[in-house]
Amino acid sequence: MRVQVVVVLIVAMLVGGENPEALADSQSSTQNGLGGILTEPQRGYAKYGDYVGSTSVENPKAETAQNIEFSQRVVKDIQIRFVNDKGQLVDDKGQPIQGRTQRDFIIGLLRLKPGQVFRKDVLQADLQRLRRLESFAQVNVFQQEDASGVNIIYNIKERRYPALKFGGGESDDIGLFGQVGYEDANISGLNDELDTTLQISSKDVQFYGQFTSPYRPGEPNRLGYSIRGFRTRDLSSSFNEDIRLSNGDKVREGRFGGSVALLKSFDDWDTSVALNYTRISLRDRDYNVTQVDRLGSPLSLSGTGIDDLFTVSFAVSRDQRDRREDPTQGSILTLSTEQAIPIGLGNISSNRLRGDYIQYLPVSWIGNNQSTDNPEMLAINLQIGTIIGDFPPANAFDIGGLDSVRGYGYGKVASGRTYGLASVEYRFPIFQSIGGVIFTDFGSDFGSGKTVLGEPGVLRGKPGSGFGYGLGLRVKSPFGLIRGDLGISDQGEVRFEVTTGQRF
C-alpha cells in the first residue's frame, strides 16, 4: 500500500475587504421548502406560496373563485435592494446600501416583470437564476400583496470584487513556484468577468487569462462573448513516469493557445460557438522538444513532438441548480462537440464529443435539518466522451486523479479514445462549517486505449478501467471551501489529497 499526500494552498486577499470565496454562496439557510422565497417580518408582506384561498367543502365554487382571483393578480412593481454583510439595508449613516450591479441588468434577467400576471413558478425560476450569478453571495425574495396586485422585492448581497489572489506550491516539474492573480465578476455592474493568473518559477513562466461578457436577456440583439489565452506546462498524464525518454527524463507537456467564443441563451439553454487554437509540445527536463519515448513510440501525431490543434467548438448547457456555488438541488447538463480543422503541424481533422450531467438530490438520512453550510444531499456525476478520427496522443482522455477516479494518480487509470466516468457522493453536515463526504468513482476507456497512437496507456500498464472509494472532509474557510479526500483504489493504493472546491 502506498500513501501519498498532496497539499495545495491558495491564499486570497480582496481589494477593499473580504475574500469572495469566504462569502461564496452564503445563501440564507432559512429556506421554507419552497426554494428560499421567504417571509419578511414586516407588516404587509406575505410568505411565498401561502395564499391559496379559502378551502370550503360546502361551497367549492367559492374556493374556485378565490383561486382564480389570486391567479389573475398582476405584478405592480419589482424592487431591487442591496444589503451589507450584516444583512442591513442601510449603512452607519442611514443611507441605503449601494450595489455595484446595475438595476436594469437585474431586471433584464427576470421573466416575471411589472404588468404581468403573477406566477409563483416563474418567481421561483427568477430567484434561482439570480442565485447562479457569480457576483451574488446571497439572494432572497419577498412579496407584498394587496387587492390591486403584488409587489416583488429582492434583497441581494454582492460578493466583494475585485480580488487579488496569491498562492504558491511545489511541482515535480518546475520545483517551487509562486502565483498572483486578479479576479472580478462584476465589471461595470453588468456581471462581465475577468480572471487572470500568473505563475512564476525558476524554470518557467505560465499564465491564464479570460474575459467574459455574458449574453444578456434584456438585450436580445446583443451576443455575449469570451476571450481566453493560456500557457501551461506540467508532467504529461498520458506519457507518465513508467516509460521515460531515452535520456531518462520524464515527459513534459506544454500547451499554448487561446480561444474566442460567442455566447447566446435560448430559454433555459446557454450556447457557445468558439474558435480555438492549442499548440501541444512534448519535451524533456530542459524543455527541449522530443519526438519519441525510449521505446521509440511517437509522442505526437505530426512526428515532430509538436501538434497544432485548430478547432471550432459548439456547446450547449442547461443549468437548473438552485445556486451556482455548492448547490443543494437541481441539475446541470452540458453537451459539446469540437471539430479540428486540418491546419498546421499534424494536419488534424478529428471530432471530439462530450457529455456531462450532474444531479443534486437533497436527502435526510441522518435527520439533521438544522441550518448548516454543508447540507445533507446526494450528488451524482455522469460523463462520457469519444474522439472520431486521428488525434494527438497527448489529447487522449486521461482517467484517474483527484477530479476523476480518486485513489489513483492523475491519468493512471487509462488514456483512451473513449471514456465513461460515474461518481456518487453522499454529503452530510458535521458542524456548521464542516461537512463530510462518502464517495465512490468508476471510470473506463471501454478498451479504446489500444486505438490511441503509440498506445501510451497500454504500454504503460494502465488498467483501462478503475474503481475508487473513500471519505472526505469539506471545510468552509476564509480562503473558500477546502476539500480533503482519502481515496482507496481497487488496486489497493491509498491517496490523501487536499485542494479547494467541490469535486463537482
Separation of alpha carbons 427 and 365, rounded Å: 11
Residue 278 pLDDT class (50, 70, 90 cuts): very high
Name the segment(s) of the chain with CATH classification 2.40.160.50. 3-17+160-500
Separation of alpha carbons 485 and 401, rounded Å: 11
Which is more confident, 19 or 134? Answer: 134
Cis-peptide into 342, omega within 30 deg: no
Give the list of residues 6+ apart from residue 400 with CB closer than 8 angstroms, or none: 408, 409, 410, 411, 412, 413, 414, 443, 466
Residue range 45-158 forms a domain whose CATH class is: alpha beta
Cell 467541490 sits at which residue?
502
pLDDT in tens, 347-374: 999 999 999 999 999 998 887 555 667 7
Query: Distance between terminal CA atoms of the chain?
Result: 28
pLDDT at 474 over 50: yes
Residue 211 pLDDT class (50, 70, 90 cuts): very high
What the block records as the C-alpha cell of 410 is 492523475
Q: What Å distances lie between residue 466 and 168, 283, 437, CA to CA?
A: 31, 29, 20
pTM for the full predicted model:
0.81
Neighbour tally for 443: CB within 10 Å? 26
**CATH 2.40.160.50: does it fit domain 3-17+160-500?**
yes
> How many residues comprise the chain?
504
Q: What Å distances lie between residue 313 and 230, 265, 331, CA to CA?
A: 18, 16, 23
pLDDT in tens, 98-123: 999 999 999 999 999 999 999 999 99
